[in-house]
A and B are shown apart, each in its own frame.
Chain A
């Protein structure tokens, strides 16, 4: 009895399998035909595009098939993010700050804050009143992000929002930043600032496409920091702070070329010679962060030290 049952079951099983197989084949065939028809239709649609006249960036009028036109806005963000992450190939940016020349004009600060839409208390660059020992004279020190080659902020970022580019710049993508502020905790140079509220002029710039190399428009709840004016560098110009300085404090250039240019005098000098002749140093090199910003000690100062009222504390 059991035996016959088994047999019966097995034949049933077989016919069911066959049936399923057939169904499968029919289904597959149907799908293939459908897909073919669909793609043919797509192809037809592509061919039916309209020609549109456009003005190119260099002033020529061209005709372009409308199907090739994509929304620029969306792409611009992606393009900027992609090139922003890659950096400028073959470059190795460095900054040299000559402390002997700084008289705390704070033109670097204001130029920077204007370019990056920062509130007055938000700094990418700030001038600090420093005194190394009680018996030495105080001096003014412009302080930017040090663009470390071993950046603690980049290590701790959980979402790759802040990153190191191949030209040495540490950038922040505020379309990615989740606002955890681990990078603020990690940075020994207090280089980072946060958008605690809606950023300055947020409404005015609401429609501007985000430029990762300028970090504009700023976004509430994300980090902002010095970018060494990556947008200017792409245009072959000096950073905002460097060209704003009236006193020749900043040198900026490419370590691969071994040349840096003074932002005020526009004089270009050999980087290695500048660093050697003036006994250049870095901030807290013992932390192993390998900064890209060098300081020339405040010797033979051009200006006497004047204390800034608001920074006496």
Chain B
């Protein structure tokens, strides 16, 4: 009977509304079917790569890290939004983030989970994956990266799960007409949550510990990922600010992904009352803040070598500014970063629909920014590239490579779809607890 005691504290209106999105309707099945077909096509592309070798991609001896690696950096970057929203903003006592904490955590879990697969697709010998653990060398940044990505995924997953437990217990009350297996799963996963004061005390303490733990982990994963490049004695990567540069860029790409997700759930899940204009306004301001920090790091990263123009740095920068990559470089900087930042300074722009458009611009820009960070440096090693076929000199991704890159993106969409269809996307118990705050702000 204590059970109903807890669930009776949840206003029926909030509970029924937020649980109404938990249903596996026909739209869900069509969408998942489409994604599955797409994923199968991507798997076929990967099968060809396994059969014939990595040579089916555009990467060769000089540009040996292509869009697989830039996709990996993008995935790790985007997953950092979980830590930014839940920990940095949440721990500072801002209650307005409550409706988006779960969305942010789901994005974090999905991207972190698939990031590992992205890197496996880049391996020449994926059959020897276990060697990383069997013969792991502590001195290699890859060893650190594997460790921290796994830990970050683990903590993000725990954070998602732990904050879900009270909502799982509410399933019995609010999911009456759903399939039996779903109710059974809710009951099992809720671990017999009764909603007693002691349980809440333990829950909140655990959440707090996880929120604190995840901060160094998130900083570590993206800093270590930036070191995969900065540790190499190559002009263009040889930089001391790559850690913070990458971390600040990660917040930009993660927040833009969150903005798109927020718009989607607001429209399709009819959550206008919860994902309010005010919430979009706040997220818009947050994106301006992190973008300004990122622009600051961009200026540093470009002007310091640009002023000195040391031989090899100069070749690299010329390629970016006026050379082979200039169109992409300036498009990314202007349309993917500077224009969105300026526009978001104005209140009328910080509305859901304009923010969806800007979110797409920033997210696409973020992906290509990773390309700019990874590829051009390798096209200009210290020694000249001679006596090799043309494909060795200029990198162009192949169709198979693009398919293998799309595959992980499809997986992320599938994970996000399943999680947001099986569980309420907005934390019900936290909304009930802080409902009055929503009115105030």
Contact = CB atoms under 8 A, between A and B. Distances in A.
Given A129-B386, A188-B233, A189-B382, A156 B131 contact: no
B347 interface: no
Contacts of B129: 178
Contact of A157 (B64, B137, B383, B384): B137
Contact of B55 (A126, A158, A196): A196
| A160, A188, A195, A197: most-surrounded residue (chain B CB, <10 A) | A188
Main secondary structure of the interface of B (DSSP, over half): loop
A115 interface: no
Given A128-B386, A184-B64, A221-B53, A157 B140 contact: yes
Given A178-B128, A181-B124, A186-B231, A196 B387 contact: no
Interface in B356-407: 378, 381-389, 392-393
Given A197-B53, A289-B233, A185 B387 contact: no
| B65, B134, B229: most-surrounded residue (chain A CB, <10 A) | B65
B3 interface: no
Interface in A141-199: 143, 152, 155-161, 176-182, 184-186, 188-190, 192-198
A205 to B, nearest CB: 17
B161 to A, nearest CB: 30
B136 interface: yes
B124 A194 contact: yes
A117 interface: no
A143 B73 CA distance: 33
A156 B386 contact: no
Contact of B124 (A152, A222, A310): A222
Given A156-B231, A180-B142, A310 B387 contact: yes
Interface string A200-239: 0000000000000000000011100000000000000000
Nearest to A184: B64
Interface residues of A, number: 48
Main secondary structure of the interface of A (DSSP, over half): loop
Interface residues of B, number: 45
Interface in B398-434: none
B124 A160 contact: no
A93 B431 CA distance: 71
Given A121-B389, A177-B125, A182-B140, A194 B131 contact: no
A156 B139 CA distance: 7
A57 interface: no
Interface string A266-296: 0000000000000000011001110000000
A79 interface: no
B228 to A, nearest CB: 7
Interface in B108-140: 122-125, 128-129, 131-132, 134-137, 139-140
B286 interface: no
A3 interface: no
A130 interface: yes
B54 A196 contact: yes
A194 B392 contact: no
B232 A152 contact: yes
B272 interface: no
A122 B55 CA distance: 13
B325 to A, nearest CB: 18
Contacts of B95: none
B136 to A, nearest CB: 7
A60 interface: no
8 contacts: A156-B140, A161-B135, A179-B128, A186-B231, A189-B382, A196-B59, A197-B55, A289-B233
Given A121-B389, A156-B232, A185-B228, 5 more contacts: A121-B388, A128-B383, A130-B384, A157-B137, A179-B124
Interface of A: 121-123, 126-130, 143, 152, 155-161, 176-182, 184-186, 188-190, 192-198, 220-222, 283-284, 287-289, 310-311, 313
